[in-house]
A and B are shown apart, each in its own frame.
Chain A
């Protein structure tokens, strides 16, 4: 006995249409991304989720410069995000971000010496 389970034709056509629609949307998003990358990727603004090392790497700055600005001794719980450091210091995140941005600007103004 051969049993064949068949979806109704309208279900197949609806499924096909939806899947094709999503395929086209994702393809268009990929094309837009490629165009934006060609024009140059933007530097991410300083945000609370960023760990110190990640931020230092994205700005091409020694980690120690940012650790000092955050009030952390080198090697001391350096893995925390900026939000985590602000909580640990008992200060608002905005205040820490302003200090970090100032230290980045100061380092860049000195010509990375």
Chain B
């Protein structure tokens, strides 16, 4: 699949990278990091235009985020009566919504680039919790700009060594996501023990 993905980027250029980041941010499991790294490397060798790659990647990512958020909001609308049928459940959702309003922008921003594997789920949750749309969009724009800048820039800097760098970057991204989850579960276990 990797060779086919790279060939797609070589033949279709920025358009292919834009479609790939769109699908990845909308929740389709597709290696967007590898695509951006490769496109950056192809730009360094003069095969693609760096600005076009950056703009297409960013546009695709932002559109993908909006799709995930929209699906979350639609899903919430469809389950509204189910939520309010039970007082405890309604109170739980109200708390979740208040929490998203307080810390949602930071969560959206960090899940774009630091733990990008969690990004599509955060989009859905933000939609379900009815996070305000301008706040979501602003955090998405800031985070995705950083995400695209980091990976396209790394690919550009890596140049011909892109395959080796890609292996490391993808592993590093996995390490960041699993490390964050380890801390989260560890914190929850520790908190439960101290509250007992």
Contact = CB atoms under 8 A, between A and B. Distances in A.
A12 B171 contact: no
Contacts of A49: 3-4, 6-7, 10
A16 to B, nearest CB: 4
A47 B3 CA distance: 8
A26 B11 CA distance: 32
A57 interface: yes
B77 interface: no
Given A1-B91, A3-B91, A6-B192, A84 B7 contact: yes
B7 A81 contact: yes
Nearest to A79: B47
Interface residues of A, number: 42
Contacts of A41: 161, 164
A89 interface: no
Contacts of B95: 3
Secondary structure class of chain A's binding surface, majority of residues = helix
A80 B42 contact: no
A47 B4 CA distance: 11
Interface in B176-190: 178-179, 181-182, 184-186, 188-189
A9 B99 CA distance: 23
A79 B48 contact: yes
A79 B47 CA distance: 5
Interface of B: 3-4, 6-7, 10-11, 13, 41-42, 44-48, 88, 91-92, 95, 159-161, 163-164, 167-168, 171-172, 174-175, 178-179, 181-182, 184-186, 188-189, 192
Interface of A: 1, 3, 5-7, 9, 12-13, 15-16, 19-20, 22-23, 26-27, 29-30, 33-34, 36-37, 41, 44, 47-54, 56-58, 63, 78-81, 83-84
